[in-house]
A and B are shown apart, each in its own frame.
Chain A
Amino acid sequence: MISNLINNKIFTLLKVQYSNMLEYRVEIALWAISGIIPFFMLNIWTSNNLNESINISDVLLSRYFLCAFFVRQFSVVWVVFSFEEDSLMGKVSPYLIQPLNPFFRYFAQHLAEQITRFPFALIIAFFFFIFNPETIWIPNLSILILSILSTFLSFLIQFLIQSIVACLCFWTEKASSIERLLFIPTLFLSGLLAPVVSFPEYVKSWIYLTPFPYLIDFPANLLSGNETNIRGGLSMQILWIFLLFPLFKKIWSEGTKKYTAMGS
């Protein structure tokens, strides 16, 4: 009975947000196109033969960056910006007095946006394979399922990090500036610009203690068939979710006490 109700809530929320996202399909297509940083990075790496220094073949590196593109497409998070705007404009007020945490709405928005994004990402991948036919590969089913799971976990980690930062709106009002600070390590340490394996050994050991390599590098390596510690990677992703979730709950509970419902 309870699970039915929850399913009904989540399913309806997803359905409505998907309808809403379809209203923005052109914008979403543009967003998908704007996520092609990994392809630029691939070009820089291959044209300068940088991959030789880390013993990765051109084909594997191409697959890595294509997978990085895919993982990024399905783990990109912008909740801090939406929440900040809604909070400053008082739009979050009606949601706060509904029997559903407002972050579920943002969560559903992100999932709906990913579903909308999917065909555009496939089209981009199609063109990638046309220009790089040697990179075509078919991952086995278990790897594919684990990669999807790992990408979803990566999305959860990013969603929780940004939600924690978003809750700082209750104190600072401009929490997105803190998110910008986090964007720098996300960009450099996540594997979006370079596989983490390319970092010096002593730096790598520190990087793997942070959540960043589990956002892009681990799922992209997993999907592209590069050597990776699957059990270790998934465990670290789950560990970070277990660490971040209570922190989010605590900061949400303290933050809502500070809420002044301004703008409404």
Chain B
Amino acid sequence: MVQNIIDVRNLSKSFDISSKEPGLKGTIKHFFRRQTKSLKVIKDISFEIKEGEIVGFLGANGAGKTTILKMLCGLIYPSEGSILVSGYLPFRRKENFLKNITLIMGQKQQLIWDLPPIESFYLNAAIYGLDKFEAKKRIKKLSEMLEIDEELFIPVRKLSLGQRMKSELLAALIHEPNILFLDEPTLGLDINAQRNLRKFLQNYNKETNATICLTSHYMKDITSLCKRVICVHEGEISYDGKLDLLLKKLSPVKEIIIVCRSEEDAIKLENSGFTIKNKIKNEITIKIDNNSITSSLKTILNNFDIEDLFINEPPVDEIIGKVLIKKDYDI
């Protein structure tokens, strides 16, 4: 049986936020009497993640995804509830716990700006207690996986965003962590760089059975990496389960565009009991329930003279977009 590597129970986090009215009057008032209020950004959430799972955290901006990741890796202190990651309380930041995890933030970097990445790699290797021989071996392996070579010896400030991101990944993975927390790792990367990064993460997960917790606004990251998603809405979990189940639930029908050889066939199909979305001459768009798609297509192909046929998958972004603005999904 696969063990739970992350166990979160009734977790909440509040921040003290100061507010100020606009204008000079507001500024003076704010100077003499600062008003702060406690804002609960994470509200009593619970979930578990199994070893080797890749889980995507979805939510609108400010929903609380990054705050959850920051608490999971021990960067910030939870206000209430409990977190166990790999058997450790993250915030205590015990050495063995820190050697097991890594956090990669798409918009933040740990590489030393004026030096080539290789210097930061050796520094990180020393910090994680690796000897030079082991460090060299891991740098070689990871740089091959990430397809970086010459970039290792060029000052970070002169690298492109994609090259920098790859180097960041290498620096963050040199200690071969079991748990990866990735906060928008593909932010700002071009399509090819995004694809390469996803491929790398898939391979890393496959080779090391590492657990990956990921947030991203690019749906392609989520659909190609995560089988399971946790949707966060205003600090609460609105959905926790399989991604394909969520997609089916939110988009229960598919649109099929059928081009008939003749208009007579199109009329025949129009009157055959399928739900018709529209018909233009001999081209008909019908809606078919996800559960009966195979049988329906079989019927159509057997009974009508079909010239061409397209299955129109609804855009995932659109479907997920619905989740981000709704509170509960009972799947």
What distance in Å separates the Cβ of B85 from its nearest Cβ neighbour in chain A? 11
**Residues of chain A within 8 A of B93, CB atoms compared:** 96-97
Q: Is A90 in the interface zone, CB < 8 Å from B?
A: yes
**Residues of chain A within 8 A of B122, CB atoms compared:** 12, 16
Q: Is the CB–CB distance between B112 and A16 below 8 Å?
A: yes
Q: Choose among B70, B102, B126, B172 the residue that contacts A9 (Cβ–Cβ < 8 A).
A: B126
**Residues of chain B within 8 A of A11, CB atoms compared:** 126
Q: Is the CB–CB distance between B75 and A93 below 8 Å?
A: yes
Q: Is the CB–CB distance between A13 and B115 below 8 Å?
A: no
Q: Is A19 in the interface zone, CB < 8 Å from B?
A: yes
Q: Choose among A5, A12, A94 the residue that contacts B103 (Cβ–Cβ < 8 A).
A: A94
**Residues of chain A within 8 A of B172, CB atoms compared:** 94
Q: Is A174 in the interface zone, CB < 8 Å from B?
A: no
With the chains together, A145 CA to B172 CA distance in Å?
41
With the chains together, A87 CA to B123 CA distance in Å?
21
Q: Is the CB–CB distance between A98 and B127 below 8 Å?
A: yes
Q: Is A26 in the interface zone, CB < 8 Å from B?
A: no
Q: Is the CB–CB distance between A23 and B75 below 8 Å?
A: no
Number of B interface residues in the complex (CB < 8 A):
35
Q: Is B88 in the interface zone, CB < 8 Å from A?
A: no
Q: Choose among B101, B123, B131 the residue that contacts A97 (Cβ–Cβ < 8 A).
A: B101
With the chains together, A19 CA to B120 CA distance in Å?
11
Kindly report which residue of chain A lies nearest to residue B129, judged by CB atoms.
A5
Q: Choose among B73, B102, B131 the residue that contacts A8 (Cβ–Cβ < 8 A).
A: B131
**For chain A residues 248-264, which have a beta carbon within 8 Å of chain B?**
256-261, 264
What distance in Å separates the Cβ of A187 from its nearest Cβ neighbour in chain B? 29
With the chains together, A12 CA to B330 CA distance in Å?
54
Q: Is A100 in the interface zone, CB < 8 Å from B?
A: yes
Kindly report which residue of chain B lies nearest to residue A98, judged by CB atoms.
B127
Q: Is A183 in the interface zone, CB < 8 Å from B?
A: no
Contact A98 to B76, CB < 8 A, known contacts A12-B126, A16-B112, A264-B107: no
**Residues of chain A within 8 A of B115, CB atoms compared:** 16, 19-20, 23
Q: Is the CB–CB distance between B128 and A97 below 8 Å?
A: no
What distance in Å separates the Cβ of B260 from its nearest Cβ neighbour in chain A? 57
**Residues of chain A within 8 A of B74, CB atoms compared:** 96-97
Q: Is the CB–CB distance between A264 and B119 below 8 Å?
A: no
Q: How large is the interface on A (under 10, 10 to 19, 20 to 34, 35 or more residues)?
A: 20 to 34
Q: Is the CB–CB distance between A94 and B108 below 8 Å?
A: yes
Contact A93 to B103, CB < 8 A, known contacts A20-B114, A23-B115: yes
Q: Is the CB–CB distance between A12 and B98 below 8 Å?
A: no
**Residues of chain B within 8 A of A261, CB atoms compared:** 70, 75-76
**Residues of chain B within 8 A of A200, CB atoms compared:** none
With the chains together, A22 CA to B110 CA distance in Å?
19
Kindly report which residue of chain A lies nearest to residue B108, judged by CB atoms.
A264
Q: Is the CB–CB distance between A97 and B98 below 8 Å?
A: yes
Q: Choose among A20, A90, A98, A258 the residue that contacts B98 (Cβ–Cβ < 8 A).
A: A98
Contact A97 to B127, CB < 8 A, known contacts A20-B115, A90-B108, A260-B15: no
Q: Is the CB–CB distance between A16 and B119 below 8 Å?
A: yes
With the chains together, A259 CA to B73 CA distance in Å?
13
Q: Is B105 in the interface zone, CB < 8 Å from A?
A: yes
Q: Is the CB–CB distance between B126 and A8 below 8 Å?
A: yes
**Residues of chain A within 8 A of B125, CB atoms compared:** 12
Q: Is the CB–CB distance between A259 and B75 below 8 Å?
A: yes
Q: Is B95 in the interface zone, CB < 8 Å from A?
A: yes
**For chain B residues 181-203, which have a beta carbon within 8 Å of chain A?**
none
Q: Is B99 in the interface zone, CB < 8 Å from A?
A: yes
What distance in Å separates the Cβ of B90 from its nearest Cβ neighbour in chain A? 9
**Residues of chain A within 8 A of B131, CB atoms compared:** 8
What distance in Å separates the Cβ of B45 from its nearest Cβ neighbour in chain A? 18
Q: Is B77 in the interface zone, CB < 8 Å from A?
A: yes
What distance in Å separates the Cβ of B12 from its nearest Cβ neighbour in chain A? 15
What distance in Å separates the Cβ of B140 from its nearest Cβ neighbour in chain A? 18
Q: Is the CB–CB distance between B103 and A19 below 8 Å?
A: no
Question: Which of B98, B115, B126 has most A Cβ within 10 Å?
Answer: B126
**Residues of chain A within 8 A of B105, CB atoms compared:** 90, 93-94, 264
What distance in Å separates the Cβ of B51 from its nearest Cβ neighbour in chain A? 20
**Residues of chain B within 8 A of A259, CB atoms compared:** 75-77
With the chains together, A23 CA to B157 CA distance in Å?
12
- Report which B residues bind A (CB closer than 8 A): 15, 70, 73-77, 91, 93, 95, 98-99, 101-103, 105, 107-110, 112, 114-115, 119-120, 122-129, 131, 172
Which 10 pairs between the two chains have the least Cβ-Cβ distance? A12-B126, A94-B110, A23-B114, A99-B95, A99-B98, A257-B77, A16-B123, A264-B108, A100-B127, A9-B126
Question: A99-B99, A257-B91 are known contacts; what are 17 more A-B pairs with Cβ within 8 Å?
Answer: A8-B129, A11-B126, A12-B125, A16-B115, A16-B119, A16-B122, A24-B114, A90-B108, A94-B109, A96-B74, A96-B93, A97-B75, A98-B128, A99-B95, A258-B77, A260-B76, A261-B76
